[in-house]
Structure 1
């Protein structure tokens, strides 16, 4: 039986212990700061915020390029000869990374590529769904596993409130960002993934503690999320009291397993410090 290896990008913010547990291979995206190119994960996220505080500039990001994907897939094959690779990628609507993976995969056999149409915890939820399914059914045919993953992609729901709207504005990844101009300091926008695009859907006023609670309740009212697993995403600087309150509300609503995911460099560069998000899979 040929081994199936799952892979994804650093923009999934997949916790290291879970990547190790399930053998998920992660390829880094890039952060450009102070004229230098850093691989996502190679520098502390705090350095990004310190750089902004010092220079008033916001780093930029770039996708994993086709050559890097070729090296990435080759390394996996060298370590796991004759394996089948299933790559679950960062949304193609906000990055060229997935298309670069498509280009690189042309030189390989037995690589399946799935556009998760999601980022950070929403992408991680799909990857972990695949990993847990593979663990439960180690003999599953790769085509069948791919079908199941593709079926769950539209059921992964992510919503988040960025911690610093200057980062969001500079990132330019939100489709209707223009609608937020002029009110940046007065509102806290809820950003969701709609058909793979980052879109501002709701606007909350008031303190972050109130906004996060309202976001979570709106999320639960809108989506029928599987109570077996819930993912909270946070960026450095989120008030610990907010984390405690979110855990309390989630338990009150029947969630059995809660996993906190720290936003890495790629995501933090677009959302700023103190952000909060929630992700899960619909029934």
Structure 2
């Protein structure tokens, strides 16, 4: 029976400590700023915000390429001889990263790929589900593990509101007219993953504190989330009082384990500072 090694992209926003604890191998995606290519995880998020404040430009992002995946999978196999790799990937509907992983694995044995159709905490929730399953049943067959992971992919629910419409505008995701209207009326979109695609499903108006609470309560009323685990996502700059209040709401709703996930450089390049999101698995 070969050892199963889980892997994913940096877009899952797993902390280095958590990834090490769970033995999840993470391949970096890319952030390009000032003409320099940074591996996601090596660029402090604060540098992105400082760059935007100075230039009014946001970094661009790019997927892990085929060659990087080949090196990544090869290194795992060298570090864990005879292992089987189960890679849970960033949604194929928003990045070429997953397809690049498919191409890279074509001539490799014992590499299984799962398209999570999700990002950040939504992807992280699936990876951590797989890690927990593997921990409880280390003798599980790779095919069975993949089947179980694929079974929870449609149950992973992620919803978030960006902290700054300026970043969405700078990235071409909202028009100037929509930005001006949203800024004047303090309106922010709720972003969710639908069939793997990032879509705006609702708009909230008011202060970020009020919007975060509305988002959270709507999320809990719309989805029957497993109370064993909840993931709260934030980008640097979210007010600590908002985080405290979100903890209170989570506890009021009887979640057993509440884990905060910080959006990394790649996700923050699109969402901006002070964003909030929530992710979990439906029962």
Q: TM-score, normalised by structure 1?
A: 0.96
Unmatched 5+ stretches in structure 1? none
Whole-Å separation in 2 of the counterparts to 1:130 and 1:205: 37
How many Å apart are 1:17 and its aligned residue? 1.9
Q: CA deviation at 1:39?
A: 0.4
Cα distance, 1:107 vs structure 2: 1.9
Distance, in Å, in 2 between the alignment partners of 1:40 and 1:213 is: 30
Q: Report the equivalent of 1:67.
A: 67
Change (3 A) 1:144 1:53: same
Alignment of 1:254-269 (within 5 A): 254-269=254-269
1:151-230 correspondence to structure 2 within 5 Å: 151-172=151-172, 177=174, 180=178, 183-185=181-183, 186=185, 187-230=187-230
Asked if 1 retains the 8 angstrom alpha-carbon contact of 2:56 and 2:170, the reply is no
Q: Deviations over 1:51-100 (max 9, x none)?
A: 10111111100000001000000110110111100000000111000000
Residue 164 of structure 1: CA displacement? Answer: 1.0
Change beyond 3 A, Cα 1:56–1:171: closer
How big is the shift at 1:184?
Answer: 3.1
Output the CA distance in 2 between the equivalents of 1:15 and 1:136: 22
Tell me how far apart the structure 1 counterparts of residues 182 and 249 of structure 2 sit (CA, whole Å): 28
Q: How many residues align?
A: 280
RMSD over aligned CA atoms reads 1.3
